[in-house]
Structure 1
């Protein structure tokens, strides 16, 4: 159906026949067969027409998605930028805010972690907000509960340390490895473990998941840069260019 629609559009737009008018809803079977044969012949001679039509369609869809994303961010701005519990780092007084939805088991999140760190260090005027969004299984959820519990028990500085360490981990996430990590940072592993299944931790993760659902976020990493949703991994150069663009 999709290709048939493209073919019909391509033929109608490309055949320079001023006297040729089609009523696609009132063709005889014979006329419809002739028309299909003409379409096929035209496209066989001009296959680039389909690629051109697909490109135009994709551009229109991308524009529509971008406009929809702007509305989603505007409608959920308070929960995105001022939820009262998400970690705030970088320069808290920065003129640009970057929000990241992440999963510690996500390979692209691990790649993005260094790019974001470089951006914060190089720019120096960016406020970073981290949203815990574990979507890749039980180990993701375990790591996220550990990070959130660390933040609630030991504060933002401890949270920053363990999130960096979690992003650098290459092996499986288990309670044993998390307790070892807590001890490495001089944290109270018993207190953090006891708090991991608390309602406070669960509620924070639940609220972030609900926000992600409203924003139609289905993968990680996903970023919000000021008013714009950025879905997927972005290298440092692209992020810096977008930041510069936001500043005008």
Structure 2
């Protein structure tokens, strides 16, 4: 059976379409099976998306509500949203942040994501991710290396690890891209929050509102069992 999501348009996410204090939403069915490329239907669910190699848990691994972000380090809107995501995770420890590396802006974006993924093997992922997100303008490999180095990454070790574990990194990129296309995302950033799809930017107030709605739905479902 196809998984069910609700899409919040970018306009609604930015507060442009509010009806009676609630977001205007449109129900959609996420493609599965053959329509979803090579991934089985079970993975195209809110729970399934946090399984597999592409799911990088960045904050609050035991949170009861998951915010999944498909992003690129050169995406200006991703950079703008980054402080709000950090604030959300800091103020609400029940919000788990999961990153999906979807580098769509070219070679420098791919290299930045590779170094960030390698930082996991040095326990520096969050520091490197934050440093890369704070870089302004167009990236190149030297700027990426310098930012990662300033965040405590051993670049020589990271690049050696990337050579030795290249298949693991490619699996991260491949799975994230398949999922993003299956969910009909057109670019970065794009979010999955519970059963809501948010293609495009989202402000802090809307993040909080959607997280609350997801929690309320879960509570109501538990009470009716």
Match of 2:95 in 1: 126
Give the alignment partner of residue 67 of structure 1, picking from 28, 48, 73. 28
Q: How is 1:130-169 mapped onto 2 (pairs within 5 angstroms)?
A: 130-151=99-120, 153-155=121-123, 158-169=124-135
Deviations 1:189-221 (A, max 9, x none): 112123335222122111211121222222111
The structure richer in strand per residue is 2
Structure 2: gaps spanning 5 or more residues:
1-24, 217-225
TM-score calculated relative to the size of structure 2: 0.73
Cα distance in 1 between the residues matched to 2:99 and 2:171: 16
Structure 1: gaps spanning 5 or more residues:
1-61
Cα distance in 2 between the residues matched to 1:175 and 1:193: 12
> In structure 2, the residue corresponding to 1:130 is in which secondary structure?
strand
1:102 CA displacement: 0.5
Match of 1:180 in 2: 146
TM-score calculated relative to the size of structure 1: 0.66
**Alpha carbons of 1:141 and 1:160: their partners in 2 closer, same or farther (altered >3 Å)?**
same
Match of 1:45 in 2: none
CA RMSD in angstroms comes to 2.3
Q: Judge conservation of contact 2:108–2:141 (CA < 8 Å) in 1.
A: no
Deviations 1:67-115 (A, max 9, x none): 2249889751254112255221322111111100010100110111011
Cα distance in 1 between the residues matched to 2:28 and 2:42: 11
Match of 1:234 in 2: 202
Which structure 1 residue ranges, 4+ long, deviate > 6 Å from structure 2? Answer: 70-74
Cα distance in 2 between the residues matched to 1:238 and 1:70: 26
Cα distance in 1 between the residues matched to 2:208 and 2:50: 20
The structure richer in helix per residue is 1
> In structure 1, the residue corresponding to 2:149 is in which secondary structure?
helix
> In structure 2, the residue corresponding to 1:67 is in which secondary structure?
strand
Structure scoring higher RCO (CA < 8 A, sep ≥ 6) equals 2
> In structure 2, the residue corresponding to 1:191 is in which secondary structure?
helix
